[in-house]
Structure 1
Amino acid sequence: MAKAGRERMAKYYPLIILALVALLGYSVYMYQTAKPFNFGDGGGGPTSRKEQAEELLGLSGDYTTSQVKTAFREKSRGVHPDRNKSPEAQAEFIKLTEAKEFLLSQL
């Protein structure tokens, strides 16, 4: 009886393999076509990612690592997920975090 069940399943193996290959191909396609996160709203503001991150954190000119961290702490205090559970606040916190990480990686 178990052998008959295995034989019945065996006819579906090519279909299962085809589905897995298609899923892998789709995953690769989605990874390659993903666009980087855009901090701005597209309203004619800053043009470069660095300028967008600086504007979001309220920085300009030359700044140090500690200034970036301080600006992040000040801006993110009210939108931290532990203090504010709204989806908008969480999205803003993510933007601020990404801006901080980007600017720190540029120093």
Structure 2
Amino acid sequence: MQAISARAPRVAAKPVCRSGARAPLRVVCKATSAKEQVAQKIALLSTLPMTLASSPAWALVDERLNGDGTGLPFGVNEPALGWALTIVFGVMWAVWFTGQRDLGDFEDNDSGLKL
């Protein structure tokens, strides 16, 4: 049994010319036999054993993966990283807290955002 497939035309980039003549586009139809389709399927299926054999590598968890999926909080696997996160959060919170004190208590109805 034969199948018909259409290939997209290949157009090479050419310098722009000012003439109105254009090269016509060509569409090429190619018939593929069942043998060619079977050969393509066999080639695709030949990669399956290699993919299944490499499954233990997908489950690898070590220092490079930052502890994701190991039950560590926030993926922190080193104490220095935990301290860095805590200090940065503390500094940002302190800057926000000192900045919002100057804004007032917003008890007046006219304070805040206006529409």
TM over 0.5: no
Larger radius of gyration: 2
Highest RCO, 1 vs 2 (Cα 8 Å, sep ≥ 6): 1
With normalisation by structure 1, the TM-score equals 0.32
Structure number with the higher helix fraction is 1
TM-score (norm 2): 0.30
